[in-house]
Chain A
Amino acid sequence: MKNFLKLKLTAATLLIASCITINVYFPAGAAEKAADQIIDSVIQGGGAVRGTPQTPPVSPPTTTTPPTTQINSFATQPLHRVAASLIDALIPRAHAQTEMNLDVSSPEIRAITASMQNRFGQLERFFDAGVVGLTADGLIDIRDISAAALPDRALIKRLVAEDNADRNALYDAIARKNERPEWAPDIRRIFAQRWVERGAKPGWYFKDLDGNWKQR
């Protein structure tokens, strides 16, 4: 009986000890949500990236200290104090996103996303035609250049080179924002997955892990 109790206690201790273990893990679930938002925003070219603080209109302050202007007449008061609240537009703090551990809110990420949005319209028809496809490491690649007319082939090469430069910069910027450079490969992997699952239209091509082209 005693032994059994000891065993239970030991087990309980071990269990507690394992719960306390501190582990920095890659938040895959949150990363998927973040990737989805960025992908949506690139494709729809206008959807807001969540996490951006809303730009408040400049307006009289809504918060605590209204501007005060106190003037005492020259004769009675040596000290004149003009208090003006410089900060009127107190923005609401970014809501604590408790379930979202991957921060994709930074001016860099927004700038890169905007660049990808601008290009997407041109790339879309080449995805549709099977000329380009998505790769397993979050980039894009030429699958069949002969499906494109001769004059377009040079343009396609340029678009692919530019988009890949943006994509690489994006994954780097996300890792940098979260101060976790070691997350970069995982971020890529999640984006690659979500591009296929969410970003790709039926009929688009993507490369599987063995490097073979598959069609959605």
Chain B
Amino acid sequence: MARLTRLSCIVPLGFSAALAAMPQAVLAIDRFELRIDRIETPAAVLKDAHLKVSIDQKTATPKGSLRIGSTPAGPISMNLALREAGSQGLIFAGDRFRFAGGDVGFNASLIGRRWTFAVTASAITSESLLELSRSFIDIPAGFSAQGQLDTVLQLAGRTTAALPETANLEFRGSNLGFSNAEGSVAAEGIDLDVRVGLSSDVNGKMTVSGYLMSETGEALLDNAYLKLGSHPTRIGLEGELDANRLKISLLEIKQEGLISATASATITQPKNFLEAPLDIQKLKVESATLSLQELRFPAVYTSYLQTALAGTALDSLESSGRISGTLEIVDNAPVSGNLVLDDLSLRDAKGLFFVDRLRGRINWVPEVDEPMEPSSLTWDAGGLYDVRGGASSLRLVLRGLSAALLEPARLPVFDGAINIQELRVTDAGAPAMQIQFTGEIEPISMSEISKAFGWPALGGFVTGRIPRVEYKGDTLIFDGDLEAEIFDGIVRGSNIKLSDPFGRWPRLSADLVIDNLDLETLTSTLEFGAITGRIDGQVDNLELFAWAPVSFDAWLRTPEDDRSRKRISVDAINSIANVGGNAGSGVASALQMGALRFFSRYRYRQLAVRCVLEDDVCQLSGAPIANNRYYLLEGAGVPRVDIVGNSGRIQWSELLRQIAWQIETGGTFSIQ
């Protein structure tokens, strides 16, 4: 049993020692046989090796055969030829032999103290290569590979040194594939061109340089999916290896149309890199600088980010633009970073939000108590749900997982604005995330809002105060009342809660109080028909599910002390009578007959309508009279017009449709 000298993890170096011992032996005898039961190298355990050398009597050239019964990639059986090269040299060549599924040939030389060793292999299988690599890299069980590779390994060194002076390794293959046991890391149809060169000096320090290129195939790395055909990839590396320390002077990653990045780093692991298999989990990044020259959208989003964001509010974005930035890492932890946004535009396909041409610089440090550069952002347009705004900018400070506005910001919204007095986010992205927001509304015209939300055009303005909003437990809670001045009155929302605000099924609950709105302003832009006077109301226990009302108890009525002129036009009476499906033709035409036709407006004492919505059914009522009857419109004076209804139930969706129709057309509504 022989155990050869300790070897580097890259090179089966034992040959040099064996070669050093051999020449004399070969030349002095005419037959030589060596059997070794077991050879342990860091690369492999070889068993049952049998070397036979003999001298051809005619040519005086040594030749022989080498058989190794067991290697990780199967048995080896090859013929050898040795010849002298000058007086101090020996060249050692083997015929090509079958190994690892392909054809392998090798040659070696020893001239003076210099030796070389080269192996070329064509069409060896990935599976065998995987087996051989298990001694260098800790490959998890269940990992499989397919495809064939050509490979060349060249080593050269001196017999006085333990490590080779130079080593070059090349891989080339096409239609390669691999997969881990779970299927989360996989590739298909990959072509690969890898070159690595190593050289070492007398002190055992090694220089590494190499690259990897791939231009075909597809790869899946957990949540990142890459089509190499669309994004040819080149990764280059230059560095130094010194015992357990790897100093990368340049790592360059280029994926066409996707990423251009460089990095430098110093990485250590507990054991000497050359003495033990690489254990990725024990690597420590002592220091590193990552520099992104360019990340291109949408490719970066669709390839690397989208699947990781599945199920969140950011999982269906259309994007464009570029990002660049840097990141500094010390002792495995990031210590500072910045991102520069270059015309980044994002648009949520579900309509939740959008931002156009976001530009700026974001500076970040971990949670430390040090002065730092603020970040600033500018954009051309943005929106949340259907609320759209124009160009704006803001400045903020980011630390750890928190962000806060440095100063109040003004966001133009339609023809008005939202002034944000305070915006603070802590624990961003975590379940414990908190958001605090305070602001106010600069007057925004209702016609713009109506257009955006698809409502019929309403007149007037909205202005008001937004109370402190907190986000906790996946719910936005308004700490106070949201007040809007609209139609010369006030609409006040209290107890406002929005749960699952960024998710699939947001639920809004609130109580609204409607205070003294001016009906003339409200109806002036509608085809509904003019009504003058004031209106009060309330909506209790309003619930919106995915922004559609699912339940409420709503009242609208004339304020008791309303002293204004209360008039209702024929058109409006017509409209109210129409809603509910009664063709109402009788009403309008009757009002026009006879003496009544001189009256285009009628006085009224009160308007009253109540709708209790539950399970898509609206229970309608008004100002009660008796026997299940109620006034929707209680007239006054002479001539007097009342609209009286019977307590009843109507399909909510149907009611909405009729009101909308009536508001927009003001005509006579009839369905056959």
Residues of A within 8 A of B (CB): 52-53, 55-61, 64-65, 67, 69, 71, 73-74, 78-91, 105-108, 111-112, 115, 144-148, 150-151, 153-154, 157-158, 160-162, 164-166, 169
Q: In whole angstroms, what is the CA distance A55 to B183 when docked?
A: 49
Q: In whole angstroms, what is the CA distance A65 to B643 when docked?
A: 14
Contact with A along B605-643 (1 / 0, CB 8 A): 000000000011100100000000000100000111111
Q: Which residue of B lies closest to A51 (CB)?
A: B615
Contact B643 A82 (CB under 8 A): yes
Q: In whole angstroms, what is the CA distance A37 to B580 when docked?
A: 32
Contact B584 A162 (CB under 8 A): no
- Please give, as numbers and ranges, the residues of chain B lying within 8 Å of A157 by CB-CB distance: 223, 307, 310
* Interface residue SS majority, chain A: loop
Contact with A along B647-667 (1 / 0, CB 8 A): 111110110001000000000
- Please give, as numbers and ranges, the residues of chain A lying within 8 Å of B576 by CB-CB distance: 86
- Chain B: interface residue count, which band? 35 or more
B225 at the interface (CB under 8 A from A): yes
- Please give, as numbers and ranges, the residues of chain A lying within 8 Å of B654 by CB-CB distance: 55, 58, 89
Q: Which one of B311, B505, B587 lies within 8 Å of A69 (CB-CB)? A: B587
- Please give, as numbers and ranges, the residues of chain B lying within 8 Å of A84 by CB-CB distance: 577, 580, 582, 584, 587, 643-645
- Please give, as numbers and ranges, the residues of chain B lying within 8 Å of A58 by CB-CB distance: 581, 654, 658, 671
Q: Which one of B225, B587, B651 lies within 8 Å of A153 (CB-CB)? A: B225
Q: Which residue of B lies closest to A105 (CB)?
A: B615
Contact B641 A146 (CB under 8 A): no
Q: In whole angstroms, what is the CA distance A67 to B588 when docked?
A: 14
Contact B596 A74 (CB under 8 A): yes
Q: In whole angstroms, what is the CA distance A53 to B577 when docked?
A: 25
Q: Which residue of A lies closest to B183 (CB)?
A: A146
Q: In whole angstroms, what is the CA distance A87 to B578 when docked?
A: 10
B198 at the interface (CB under 8 A from A): no
Contact A53 B617 (CB under 8 A): yes
Q: A86-B582, A91-B649, A106-B550 are in contact. Are A158 and B186 (CB under 8 A)?
A: no
B545 at the interface (CB under 8 A from A): yes
Q: A87-B649, A106-B615, A145-B182 are in contact. Are A59 and B671 (CB under 8 A)?
A: yes
B503 at the interface (CB under 8 A from A): yes
Q: In whole angstroms, what is the CA distance A91 to B632 when docked?
A: 21
- Please give, as numbers and ranges, the residues of chain A lying within 8 Å of B186 by CB-CB distance: 146, 150
Within 8 A of A (CB), among B521-559: 545-546, 548, 550
Contact with A along B576-606 (1 / 0, CB 8 A): 1101111010110011011110000000000
Q: Which one of B218, B220, B311, B651 lies within 8 Å of A165 (CB-CB)? A: B311
Q: A53-B617, A169-B505 are in contact. Are A146 and B179 (CB under 8 A)?
A: yes
Q: Which residue of B lies closest to A131 (CB)?
A: B183
Instruction: Name the distance in Å between A198's Cβ and chain B's nearest Cβ.
Output: 25
Given contacts A87-B580, A148-B183, A158-B311, 14 further A-B contacts (CB under 8 A): A52-B616, A58-B671, A67-B582, A69-B590, A82-B642, A84-B584, A86-B648, A91-B617, A108-B545, A146-B182, A150-B186, A154-B220, A157-B310, A164-B311
Contact A86 B594 (CB under 8 A): no
Instruction: Name the distance in Å between A181's Cβ and chain B's nearest Cβ.
Output: 14
Q: Which residue of A lies closest to B589 (CB)?
A: A69
Q: Which one of B218, B504, B591, B653 lies within 8 Å of A115 (CB-CB)? A: B504
Q: In whole angstroms, what is the CA distance A162 to B505 when docked?
A: 11
Instruction: Name the distance in Å between B586's Cβ and chain A's nearest Cβ.
Output: 5
Q: In whole angstroms, what is the CA distance A105 to B616 when docked?
A: 9
Q: In whole angstroms, what is the CA distance A105 to B550 when docked?
A: 12
Q: In whole angstroms, what is the CA distance A59 to B562 when docked?
A: 37
30 contacting pairs across A/B (C-beta < 8 A): A53-B617, A59-B671, A67-B586, A80-B639, A81-B644, A82-B577, A84-B643, A85-B646, A86-B580, A86-B620, A86-B643, A86-B648, A87-B646, A88-B581, A90-B648, A105-B615, A106-B615, A107-B545, A107-B615, A107-B616, A108-B505, A108-B546, A111-B546, A111-B548, A144-B183, A146-B179, A150-B187, A153-B220, A161-B311, A165-B505
